[in-house]
A and B are shown apart, each in its own frame.
Chain A
């Protein structure tokens, strides 16, 4: 194929699309804003040894007070994004692409690797039920899931959740569970038939986190620095693949460019933008354009290109409940210093009485700053410190995700001042399953109560999708075909979360990646 191919975006979806071309011997060009950081930290060993001897200010707060951003502006960013070494992942977004919203907390990234530079790396295959009404079947994604599994290195185990996540023989061994996660899991295994009858299933997560050295990257060392350090080798970041492909000369990568729109001349697509360092204009001709700028910025590029400030497009995110889990058996116990400080277990709730399948990520809390717990306890500050010390080691948190479909969508629009406006009503989450889950968890040794379960603000799950739905027969200018092509825009393909007009409770990114690769592969084959 002699055609020029440009991919906008160097995140999970852009890099996966690039892999799809590279596998067919084609050299695409990725154009990206591509922020990076030269701030590296030499912290080694276990976090809790390190902090006995060292001042944590540069790791935890930073000279620009990044670590205090939630406190200072009342925002609700995940702890990883407020870490001074990781803050570059989201920095500049309020200037590069301002968003107005009264209640949607939108997180955008203009970094190389995109949001996945900070993700929890929960990577789940969608089955046909997850794909819902999308005109896409899971068997068309399978080869790409398999390829990416090898590229990334996914750990996990074929267990009770294989019926939802798929049997997979390429998984790396699972993580060593933390003490509390192990306690919960053992209690589950003892009475699992009963739990399963009530719709509750528990098992190991599928994580893009290495438990064995893989593709030149080191395995996890249980150091509990996951929240603090950047570019940790054992957590997959699309930058790992991107840098390798550039080094091997298999892709071209142009960074420092914020693209604004595309137009056409003499049958060619012309993309336009500017250099973010000196403001100089950027222009490039291409035959094929893949847009992988992340759902929000892809939508902006499409609306800008169509000069449309009127249309309101739908936008989805997973409704999310944050469920604190208290383990009475661990009250007063020492902090589990060498626990794996991310998702330890997954819970699936699937019951004939409930229309929706829910997914919970059960997260160990040993990695973030302890101060995060301050004032979670409604007691005075001095007692709060004691609670942090004596009670927080007995806590896990579960993020309980709900699926989302067009009838629950918010709206996204481009304003005349080139800002995005996102509106979303508070989600209404079905609570009957929550009661069942709470009861089951209680029997597994974890106490929680509906009154302390918090519903997150819309946007908090950071699984944005659905703005440019995928349709078998496209009829509107804001729809894309099964092969990702935008309606009446030959050669322009949407390859990130935007075409997914239904998202299951499973974290969506692995499916976005497999789909991006599938689309690139189909283009390469001339389909």
Chain B
């Protein structure tokens, strides 16, 4: 299992190992993405990456509370980079009818959201 910033973010979104090319592109994008942030923002972001295992929960909580903008941006960048890969085609594009799956998805939203928010909130509070 790969480790490091890019690998952790990729896994928390796509639930698999990051391809080398995506890792390289993500790392190349970092100077530009980070340029608008202060040293404080960066050091807080690094702590989040190092100390929190469920980064998706931390990102979701940050999005809801309007904090940790760098983490949110890094997730957005990774989504775009992930979409470029043909191997992720089926993650983004639906080619079959799936009404039942979609309705099931809707029923999971409230539980998943409360769970992820609480988990992210506590992790950010305790570990950062």
Are the C-beta atoms of B112 and A51 separated by less than 8 Å?
no
- CB contact between A65 and one of B12, B32, B98 (< 8 Å): that residue: B32
Interface mask (B21-51 → A, CB under 8 Å = 1, otherwise 0): 1000100010011001000000000000000
**With contacts defined as CB atoms under 8 Å apart, how many contacts are there between chain A and chain B in the complex?**
132
- CB contact between B94 and one of A332, A371, A382 (< 8 Å): that residue: A332
Q: Chain B nearest CB: distance from A379 CB in Å?
A: 6
A205 interface contact, C-beta 8 A: no
Q: Which residues of B contact A387 (CB under 8 A)?
A: 105
Are the C-beta atoms of B91 and A379 separated by less than 8 Å?
no
Q: Chain B nearest CB: distance from A183 CB in Å?
A: 15
Q: Chain A nearest CB: distance from B80 CB in Å?
A: 4
When chains A and B are docked, how far (Å) is the Cα of A387 from the Cα of B94?
Answer: 10
Are the C-beta atoms of A390 and B94 separated by less than 8 Å?
yes
Q: Which residues of A contact B112 (CB under 8 A)?
A: 379-380, 383
B109 interface contact, C-beta 8 A: yes
Are the C-beta atoms of B94 and A335 separated by less than 8 Å?
yes
Are the C-beta atoms of A332 and B99 separated by less than 8 Å?
yes
A389 interface contact, C-beta 8 A: yes
Interface residue stretch chosen among A18-26, A52-60, A515-523: A52-60
Are the C-beta atoms of A383 and B92 separated by less than 8 Å?
no
Are the C-beta atoms of B80 and A381 separated by less than 8 Å?
no
A44 interface contact, C-beta 8 A: no
Are the C-beta atoms of A371 and B83 separated by less than 8 Å?
yes
Are the C-beta atoms of B15 and A60 separated by less than 8 Å?
no
Instruction: Give the residues from 365 to 384 in chain A that come closer than 8 angstroms, CB to CB, to chain B.
Output: 369-371, 374-375, 378-383
A333 interface contact, C-beta 8 A: yes
- CB contact between B86 and one of A51, A374, A378, A386 (< 8 Å): that residue: A51
Q: Chain A nearest CB: distance from B18 CB in Å?
A: 14
Counting chain A CB atoms within 10 Å of each CB, which of B36, B93, B105 scores highest?
B93
Q: Which residues of B contact A380 (CB under 8 A)?
A: 56-57, 59-60, 112-113, 116
- Chain B: which residue is nearest A383 at the CB level? B112
Are the C-beta atoms of A72 and B102 separated by less than 8 Å?
no
Q: Which residues of B contact A68 (CB under 8 A)?
A: 29, 32-33, 76-77, 80
Are the C-beta atoms of B99 and A72 separated by less than 8 Å?
no
Instruction: Give the residues from 360 to 410 in chain A that come closer than 8 angstroms, CB to CB, to chain B.
Output: 369-371, 374-375, 378-383, 385-391, 393
B64 interface contact, C-beta 8 A: yes
- Chain A: which residue is nearest B94 at the CB level? A389
Q: Which residues of A contact B105 (CB under 8 A)?
A: 383, 386-387, 390-391
B85 interface contact, C-beta 8 A: yes
Are the C-beta atoms of B102 and A332 separated by less than 8 Å?
yes
Interface mask (A47-74 → B, CB under 8 Å = 1, otherwise 0): 0100111111100110001011001110
When chains A and B are docked, how far (Å) is the Cα of A371 from the Cα of B105?
Answer: 19
- CB contact between A385 and one of B57, B85, B92 (< 8 Å): that residue: B92
Interface residues in B, total, Cβ within 8 A: 48
When chains A and B are docked, how far (Å) is the Cα of A56 from the Cα of B64?
Answer: 30
Known A-B contacts A55-B85, A61-B25, A332-B98; A379 and B92 likewise in contact (beta carbons under 8 Å): no
When chains A and B are docked, how far (Å) is the Cα of A56 from the Cα of B80?
Answer: 10
Q: Chain B nearest CB: distance from A285 CB in Å?
A: 45
When chains A and B are docked, how far (Å) is the Cα of A331 from the Cα of B56?
Answer: 25
Q: Which residues of A contact B86 (CB under 8 A)?
A: 51-55
Q: Which residues of B contact A52 (CB under 8 A)?
A: 86, 89
Q: Chain B nearest CB: distance from A72 CB in Å?
A: 6
- Chain B: which residue is nearest A50 at the CB level? B86
Q: Which residues of B contact A173 (CB under 8 A)?
A: none
B127 interface contact, C-beta 8 A: no
- CB contact between A71 and one of B14, B80, B100, B108 (< 8 Å): that residue: B80
Q: Chain B nearest CB: distance from A328 CB in Å?
A: 10
- CB contact between A334 and one of B14, B97, B103 (< 8 Å): that residue: B97
Are the C-beta atoms of A381 and B25 separated by less than 8 Å?
no
Q: Chain A nearest CB: distance from B111 CB in Å?
A: 10
- CB contact between B80 and one of A48, A53, A61, A333 (< 8 Å): that residue: A61
Are the C-beta atoms of B94 and A393 separated by less than 8 Å?
yes
Q: Which residues of A contact B36 (CB under 8 A)?
A: 72-73
Known A-B contacts A379-B112, A381-B13; A67 and B80 likewise in contact (beta carbons under 8 Å): yes
When chains A and B are docked, how far (Å) is the Cα of A67 from the Cα of B84?
Answer: 11
B95 interface contact, C-beta 8 A: yes
Q: Which residues of A contact B14 (CB under 8 A)?
A: 385
When chains A and B are docked, how far (Å) is the Cα of A373 from the Cα of B60?
Answer: 15
Are the C-beta atoms of B76 and A374 separated by less than 8 Å?
yes
Instruction: Give the residues from 98 to 128 in chain A that come closer than 8 angstroms, CB to CB, to chain B.
Output: none
When chains A and B are docked, how far (Å) is the Cα of A156 from the Cα of B93?
Answer: 30
Are the C-beta atoms of B84 and A55 separated by less than 8 Å?
yes
- Chain A: which residue is nearest B13 at the CB level? A381
When chains A and B are docked, how far (Å) is the Cα of A336 from the Cα of B94?
Answer: 9
Q: Which residues of A contact B83 (CB under 8 A)?
A: 56, 60, 369-371
4 interchain residue pairs of minimum CB distance:
A332-B102, A332-B99, A332-B98, A56-B84
14 A-B contact pairs sorted by A residue (CB < 8 Å): A56-B84, A61-B25, A72-B36, A332-B94, A333-B99, A369-B80, A369-B83, A379-B109, A381-B12, A382-B13, A385-B79, A390-B94, A390-B105, A391-B105
Which B residues have a C-beta under 8 Å from some C-beta of A? 12-15, 21, 25, 29, 32-33, 36, 56-57, 59-60, 63-64, 72-73, 75-77, 79-81, 83-86, 89, 91-103, 105, 108-109, 112-113, 116
5 further contact pairs, Cβ within 8 A, besides A53-B86, A60-B80: A48-B93, A60-B84, A332-B97, A332-B100, A375-B76
